[in-house]
Structure 1
Amino acid sequence: MKKLTLETVAKIAGVGIATVDRVLNERGGVSPETTRKVLKAAREIGLKRLLPEEYRHAWQIEVFLSNNGSSFFQQLVRYFSEVAGELGYRRITLHKTLVAESQPEKLAQSIIARSATRDGIIVFGHDYPPVYRALALCRSRGVPVVTIVTDLPDAERLCHVGIDQYQAGRTAGLLMSKIVNQPGDVLMVSGRFDYLAHRQRIAGFREVMMQRAPQRHLREVLFGLDQRDTIRTLLDSSLSRSRHVAGLYNTGMGNSEVSEMLRLHQLLGRCSYITHELYSVTHQLLRNDELAFALDQNAQQHARLAIDLLLRHLENGYQPDVYQDGKVALRLFTAENLE
């Protein structure tokens, strides 16, 4: 087709030449309203070619998640696939890319590459300049982005989907302040220090503990960096140097290693232990009365909300509130309300 013809259709429809090309060659990713405009313009000028029917192809959505092997991200991968399957292949084609959290440059490069062929992006990422630049490029290309789990406050994004991480930390602090029933230190085990969610959880936990249990000595945070061997080594050393441990709060992965070290030091079931996410390990710890509380992020709701908000924007132009529309409710599990 001659470029002049494409330009004429684009001018009448009020869109770009690239959009006309996508509609006429059925490349997908164009809203029904825009598709109708392009086809109407093509008929008006008597375009001599077989025109496609007025339906859109499946939206091409890319989901970027961590490959850290934690139960939470394994659940997210599964739930995203389930939600996409429920919607059907005619409405959405879901692509998933797992990237190591220690490789922000690789994540940024992948985002840039995928944004050239995707209609929308859902991303879990950390506070690194390359990631912010990649999301700004998505914005310039007209590709909406939804951040998930941990927020990127300065990013060019449509909205954020997740729990209030600071509130989650404060909730853990409130629970700890009420259940610690013996003298001793309170230990904090955290994941990657570049993970905003971990920093927010620790900040909230520390703030409430200082307000409600100022007599408790909070030890320095043990940053396990989401590395199981590191978590084991740091905690073993800290427990060996602590004469009295009354409580332990773990913000991230590694509950197998944490419980192993607590058992080794004869503290499992004796000190107040609070952590995040309900999965096989924490489920059993709760059953055994070795874990007091598990604060769960509800991975399934993350997947449903992220896809729903992105599709509503692509199909109807809906502009969600940055935080309120994507807010996920924190779930609290004890031995008495296990699923």
Structure 2
Amino acid sequence: MVTMQQIADRCGVSRGTVDRALHHKEGVREEVAERIRATAREMGYISNRLVMQQTRQWKIGVVLHSSHSMFVRMLCDLFASFSERELIPNVTVIVRSMYDMDIQHQLTLIDELVTSEHIDGLALMPLANTLVRDRINDLSEKMGIPVVTFNTDIADANRIAYVGPDNIAAGRAAAALMGMVMQGHGSVLPILGQRSGHYADSQRYTGFWAEMAENFPNIRVLHPECSFLDESLAERIAARAIQSDSSLRGIYLTSAGREGVYRAVNAGADERSEKIHVVVHDITDGNVRMVKKGTVDFIIGQDVKTQGTLPIRLLYDYLERHQFPKERMNMTDITIKFRGNV
């Protein structure tokens, strides 16, 4: 049988450090704790305490929308592997994702998890709708099922916490970077993925517009277009702007439509003397490739790992240990990727 001391010897730390890491206590740097847990998995370690905890199996449901997005698919993978990665065998994570952004579809998935899977807690990527807010309140107040929202929030819903980015601040960061590479002049076209249903698009655009108006008054922000998750439409929107506006020097993408825009920018590169600068959100393989190619100037990241882990951790602590989250608003880091650090 593998012991904590054997794990400690393998990792070059003390037995107490191993105990704190395996049972998620404070006092161990996260990178060290992850290395210890990975070693424990590799060596086949199961603690007596974790075996005892299996007498109460918690079911936590997860509902995500927009699974067409690579970022959302990354989140799905993180949630699905949570119990194995975090060495918490008495948590079962049940993931439901939807390709679309239909309100009734999301409500149906939530109800299915409650009535068929009998979940104890819910991590929800909410659509922007009062019906979703009301369902969160019903779960919390009438059924005693705690809810953590992630990625986007419904501020007036009775959730125990939110985990995700400050999308307005992320939009401001995008504008600051765009303004610098455009050297304060020219016009920039914002392209939104959706006009309604998802807070991220509108909040990012709000932040982008405010930063441009305050600090780059000589840059003209064109009326935002919407791709409606249609890559071909995004390509045509970008191509028309590139061909018709000689002052166009930037395209800002709040979410979807990236591949279409990349095609249009690359196709029009030879016809223009000045580069079209592109700023996008989410650190995905496709976006990183476009940075390396020179099509994209900056990627605004939002810490996928924290979003795919902390909601379950907060719900588990609430259910198992009766610990209310220390912070109701758990903002993820805004990170910047460009050709110098990809």
- If the TM-score is normalised by the length of the shorter chain, which range does it land in? 0.7 to 0.9
Aligned-pair identity in percent equals: 21
Deviation (angstroms), 1:78:
1.1
Deviation (angstroms), 1:166:
0.7
1:83-162 to 2 correspondence within 5 Å? 83-88=82-87, 90-116=89-115, 117-139=118-140, 140-162=142-164
Give the aligned partner of residue 282 of structure 1.
287
What CA deviation, in whole Å up to 9, does each residue of 1:55-85 have, x standing for no partner? 5332101110124311101110111122222
What CA deviation, in whole Å up to 9, does each residue of 1:210-235 have, x standing for no partner? 11111111101111122223322332
Contact 1:58/1:92, CA 8 A, preserved across alignment: yes
Equivalent residue in structure 1 for 2:316, among 294, 311, 315: 311
Q: Distance in 1 between matches of 2:255 and 2:54?
A: 44
Give the aligned partner of residue 234 of structure 1.
237
Give the aligned partner of residue 174 of structure 2.
172
3-state SS in 2 of match to 1:115: helix
* Aligned residue type for 1:152: I
Deviation (angstroms), 1:114:
1.8
Give the aligned partner of residue 186 of structure 2.
184
Q: Distance in 1 between matches of 2:313 and 2:260?
A: 36
Contact 2:123/2:149, CA 8 A, preserved across alignment: yes
Q: Distance in 1 between matches of 2:103 and 2:189?
A: 30
Give the aligned partner of residue 259 of structure 2.
256
Q: Distance in 1 between matches of 2:96 and 2:242?
A: 38
Q: Distance in 2 between matches of 1:99 and 1:259?
A: 26
What CA deviation, in whole Å up to 9, does each residue of 1:180-209 have, x standing for no partner? 138421110111122211111101111111
Q: Distance in 1 between matches of 2:55 and 2:309?
A: 22
Q: How many residue pairs get matched?
A: 285
The alpha-carbon distance between structure 1 residues 142 and 182, as it changes in their structure 2 partners (threshold 3 A), is: closer
1:62-77 to 2 correspondence within 5 Å? 62-77=61-76
Q: Distance in 2 between matches of 1:285 and 1:90?
A: 40
Deviation (angstroms), 1:269:
8.3
* Aligned residue type for 1:335: R
What CA deviation, in whole Å up to 9, does each residue of 1:156-192 have, x standing for no partner? 2111110111110011111111111384211101111
Query: How high is the TM-score relative to the length of structure 1?
Result: 0.78
Contact 2:186/2:218, CA 8 A, preserved across alignment: no
- State which structure, 1 or 2, has the greater radius of gyration over its C-alpha atoms: 1
The alpha-carbon distance between structure 1 residues 200 and 321, as it changes in their structure 2 partners (threshold 3 A), is: farther
Report whether the alignment pairs 1:332 with 2:336.
yes
Range with bigger deviation, 61-70 or 235-244 = 235-244
Which 4+ residue blocks in structure 1 deviate beyond 4 angstroms?
none
Contact 2:64/2:97, CA 8 A, preserved across alignment: yes
Structure 1, gaps ≥5 residues long: 1-52
What CA deviation, in whole Å up to 9, does each residue of 1:83-120 have, x standing for no partner? 22223573211111112443111211221332241000
3-state SS in 2 of match to 1:156: coil
Equivalent residue in structure 2 for 1:203, among 199, 202, 206: 206
Q: Distance in 1 between matches of 2:287 and 2:108?
A: 36
3-state SS in 1 of match to 2:190: strand
Query: How high is the TM-score relative to the length of structure 2?
Result: 0.78
The alpha-carbon distance between structure 1 residues 268 and 255, as it changes in their structure 2 partners (threshold 3 A), is: farther
Give the aligned partner of residue 226 of structure 2.
223
Q: Distance in 1 between matches of 2:100 and 2:154?
A: 14
* Aligned residue type for 2:58: W
Contact 1:259/1:268, CA 8 A, preserved across alignment: no
Structure 2, gaps ≥5 residues long: 1-51
